[in-house]
Amino acid sequence: MRIGIVCPYAWDVPGGVSAHVHDLANALISKGHFVSVIAPAESEEGLPAFVESTGKPRAVRYNGSVARLSFGPFVARRVGKWIEQGNFDVLHVHEPLAPSVSVLACWAAKGPIVATWHSSMDRSRVIHSLAKLAQTVMEKVSARIAVSPAARQTMIDHLGGDAVIIPNGVDVSAFANAAPIAELSSSDQTLVFFGRVDEPRKGLEVLTKAIAQIRDKYPNLKVLIAGPGDCSELLEELSADDRSCIEVLGLVDESDKANVYASGTVYVAPNTGGESFGIVLLEAMASGTPVVASNLPAFVRVLDAGNCGKLFANEDSDSLAKTVLQLLGDAEELTRLRSAGFARVAEFDWDLVADEIIEVYKSVSVPGLVVEPDIAGQMLGRLGRLRIMPEREDDI
């Protein structure tokens, strides 16, 4: 099949959706399909051959985070040209209502279109205020996918209809040979955190507030903080002793990610909300590192209600510290969780997940019918852009 995939967020800025699209594209290509991805990108240097950039994105506050989106007449023209030249059997649009490349692609195309929902949110001012405009997008979607029950419920609450649940995947083979990095795993008790360190909902502050209690029992504790952003102000609030056990790694190269996970005795996911899945949990488990996570519904599901990892009360640093201390003191449970984690991750391997997505493609594709430009839809898009595209970071 010829498959066009639309990613609304900046390709070269770490994020769950762009990582999902990257891995899905590679999985589809490995199965013999032609794949072209269109996405915003800060730079065109180093992009995979299958990715076409719509240009530099713009930072916009969206769904509790700062997303890097791409929109405007120039972007719309590039999207339309990509569709016209792609001759795709199916168009797969991720986050179809994101005010970026995704919504422009839905307006600009007609034919077999599959849409995937990733986000979980209680409300969206954009979708609520522009419900009729959103409906013009949804009427063009042939099949809907949600990566989790939370994402599916978000779609149902905002738009009605339903979606098949197909989870995020993980390339198990990429983590199979993970090995601790000697200089990072010098302590017998090492905690690892991955995430945007200056984004409150990733919960780094919940973890840092628990460090003192954990260090009381394990004074040689080491905490590895990996991810983009500046957490210096947060760390300044800690005592000198607590700061001394923290090593800030910054943005970790993909080739080193598995080994950073493996350098931890425990992986900690203190996220406070807005998560519809939990890919970092799967990556940690695939690397052989037991997980301690906040009891968000999405995390509870990934960890099989605590059978594959330990859960603590969301936003409760005392609960986090207690859970970590119990696990660090139980070598038998650490071993059990490593085995349970490996078994759980196998259920989410991209080789299996991609096959499920391909079945959805087959359900909407028609021999001899390809995705075509929709001139009327592009005209509607010109009108819609005037109303849906934000002027300020806090407009969404």
Can you say whether residue 171 is alpha, beta or left, with left for phi > 0 and alpha for psi between -120 and 50 degrees?
Answer: beta
Residues 10-34, mean pLDDT to the nearest whole number: 93
For residue 390, pLDDT over 50 is answered with: no
Lowest mean pLDDT among 57-71, 103-117, 185-199: 57-71
Enter the pTM of the model. 0.85
How many residues are given for the chain? 396
Per residue in 253-281, pLDDT tens?
Answer: 988 999 999 999 999 999 998 888 899 99
Domains 2-169+350-388 and 172-346 share a fold: yes
pLDDT of residue 187: 81
Q: How far apart are CA 120 and CA 274, in angstroms?
A: 6
For residue 124, pLDDT over 90 is answered with: no
Neighbours of 301 (CB within 10 A): 16
Residues with Cβ within 8 Å of 248's Cβ and at least 6 positions away in sequence, in order, are 197, 225, 231, 235
Residues 165-171, mean pLDDT to the nearest whole number: 95
pLDDT of residue 204: 97
DSSP 8-state symbol, 349: B
Residues with Cβ within 8 Å of 327's Cβ and at least 6 positions away in sequence, in order, are 266, 290, 292, 310, 333, 334, 337
Exposure string of 95-115, with b = 16+ CB inside 10 Å and e = fewer, is: bbbbbbbbbbbbbbbbbbbbb
Per residue in 192-216, pLDDT tens?
Answer: 999 999 999 999 999 999 999 999 9
pLDDT of residue 393: 39
For residue 64, pLDDT over 70 is answered with: no
Say if domain 2-169+350-388 classifies as CATH 3.40.50.2000.
yes
pLDDT of residue 70: 85
Neighbours of 354 (CB within 10 A): 22
Per-residue CA distances from 85 to 81, 144, 371, 373 (Å): 6, 25, 10, 9
Neighbours of 94 (CB within 10 A): 27
- Mean pLDDT, rounded, of the chain: 89
Say if domain 172-346 classifies as CATH 3.40.718.10.
no
Q: Where are the beta strands (DSSP E) in the chain?
A: 2-6, 34-39, 51-53, 58-62, 65-69, 90-94, 109-110, 113-117, 143-146, 164-165, 190-194, 222-226, 246-250, 266-269, 291-294, 310-312, 372-373
pLDDT of residue 59: 78
Backbone angles phi, psi at 317, to 5 degrees: -65, -35
- Going by DSSP bridges, is the β-strand pair 58-62/143-146 parallel, antiparallel, or unpaired? unpaired
Provide the residue ranges of all domains of the chain, joining segments of one domain with +: 2-169+350-388, 172-346
Give the pLDDT band of residue 251 (cuts 50, 70, 90): very high
Residues 352-380, mean pLDDT to the nearest whole number: 88
| SS3 call for 91 | strand
Query: Which position has the higher pLDDT, 392 or 383?
Result: 383
pLDDT of residue 396: 40
For residue 315, pLDDT over 80 is answered with: yes
